[in-house]
Chain A
Amino acid sequence: MRRAAVFRLALVVAGIVLLELLCRTGRIDRLTMQPPSEMVRDLVVLLASGRMNGAMLKTLVNVAAAATLAVVAGVVFGVGIHRYRALRQGLEPLFATYYAIPVYAFYPMLIILFGLGDMPQILIGFMLSVVAVIVSTLSGLDRVLPVLVKTARVYRLGPIATARKITLPSAAPYLLTGVRLAVAYAFIGVIGAEFIMSQTGIGYEISFAYDNFDNKVMYPLILLILVVSVVVNASLSRWEKALLQRRSRT
């Protein structure tokens, strides 16, 4: 596995170097793309100037709001319907087809409903992530071993103690999958919505820079979003793997 990680790093570095060479030699013209080294330099300059602080903060707050709402609502809803078999069976086809529906198609409607503030973006992020949380919660609860639940009953644990000591630790890795998906989808939803139509945020800044052919702003920002989403996702999935391993040990 270590050898694979080294190869992966080499592959990524090779890709970046190739891109750099193609840009430097003029195979890819400056209007289409900038060399990666310049993107990094421009990004540092852009971040140091503080121009983007407002937009970055806005996007981060909205993503956090959307993901938090989705996790809370999704877990509560998932725990709520887990016990009711008929209800769950009725909702399952909705969950299954949900991700086939382009959520962005509702964005225009949300803008008309709530105006062009933060609300439509947060709601798009929320709509995109909540069902993933519900589905992960359900599958986590399904995997709590019946013998553990019975043990809790033998020890006469109350519902809160059962949740804290048995259900939650046991379902934790799956709940964390839900959280990871919620964060990724909230990013996708919020930035996508900002990109389509909004007044601020990183997605808006990228689309604004694009409309003005401002590659010195656009490429660094694209790079920033890619790096942030990959790093956040990778750290959450590392944590998830650690939890899964601990769970299989005990």
Chain B
Amino acid sequence: MTAQSWSPARNSLIVFALVLIAWQILFVAVGPQAMTPPLETIGYLAQLLTTAAFWGHVEETSRAFLLALLLAVVLGLFIGFLLGAHRFSRDVCESILVAFYSIPKITLYPIILLVFGLGLPAKIAFGTIHGIVPIAIFTMGAVSNVSPILIKTARVLKLRPWRVVAAVLFPAALPEIFTGIRVGFALTLIGTLLGEMFGSQRGLGYLLMTAIGLQNVKLIMAVTLLIVLFAASVSTILIVIDHRLHRRMA
């Protein structure tokens, strides 16, 4: 390993250790009624992961999340390319997208539920509306910033429109698009979990909601830990890929 790739890994480890220490200190400060300490939480999570019922919830959440992410990426890329390639549409729609990004989308949840009904489609829709905007905004920005020389070259070579997208625009815009997908990943996860917290009978969000009702601190902590571990590790991997893509283009 080179020194350069070693240093981020070391930094992450230090941060991870500090978080564990802070957690333990916080536990000592607030006491066992409010939270469980790191080791006990990890132990309980490991125990949960051996039960079939818990895996059922994990599976449900994973399914909803993956479908929501797929939809967010496909639709986000579509909107992003469309607006990125056409200047006037971009001027018209950009601030609408940005405004949509900043509203508390949780207030739209009742509408989603009324339209899609209880169950998987509502969760997917809720995850997707969270993730789609950053992907569209980043893609739009990236496509509109592709160097005009590349586009002129494509025109000189008389490439068909879809070839222009596949061979020129997409590769040139990839690093920024990937950043958008990275942000979209995080927001889709939040959206899916929020979707499960209301009007759902299964999934990790539902499990959290019932655990609040029962004041089951152990369960809350274990589920939270699982979600945070998943989000943080996937996002770390995505950041590494992201940096690599950006460096290659530079």
Contact = CB atoms under 8 A, between A and B. Distances in A.
B99 A93 contact: no
Contacts of A191: 104, 106-107
Given A91-B15, A108-B211, A100 B235 contact: yes
B107 A206 contact: yes
A233 interface: yes
A177 to B, nearest CB: 12
Contact of B111 (A33, A94, A187, A197): A33
Contacts, number: 151
A111 B231 CA distance: 22
Interface residues of B, number: 58
Interface string A187-200: 11001100111000
B34 interface: yes
A234 B99 contact: yes
A239 interface: no
B115 interface: yes
A184 interface: yes
B231 A100 contact: yes
Contact of A102 (B88, B211, B227): B227
A100 B189 contact: yes
B49 interface: no
Contacts of B92: 4, 7-8, 11
Of B93, B107, B186, B189, which is in contact with the most chain A CB atoms at under 10 Å from its CB? B107
Contacts of A187: 102, 104
Interface stretch (A138-146, A168-176, A222-230): A222-230
Nearest to B87: A4
A218 B113 CA distance: 13
A203 B109 CA distance: 11
Interface stretch (B71-79, B140-148, B164-172, B214-222): B214-222
B95 A188 contact: no
7 contacts: A7-B92, A32-B115, A102-B228, A105-B193, A109-B35, A195-B107, A195-B198
Interface of A: 1, 3-4, 7-8, 11-12, 31-33, 89-94, 96-97, 99-106, 108-109, 111-113, 184, 187-188, 191-192, 195-197, 203, 206-207, 210, 218, 221-222, 225-226, 229-230, 233-234, 237
Interface of B: 7-8, 11-12, 14-15, 30, 33-35, 88, 91-93, 95-96, 98-99, 102-111, 113-115, 183, 185-186, 189-190, 193-194, 197-198, 208-209, 211-212, 215, 217, 220-221, 223-224, 227-228, 231-232, 234-236, 239
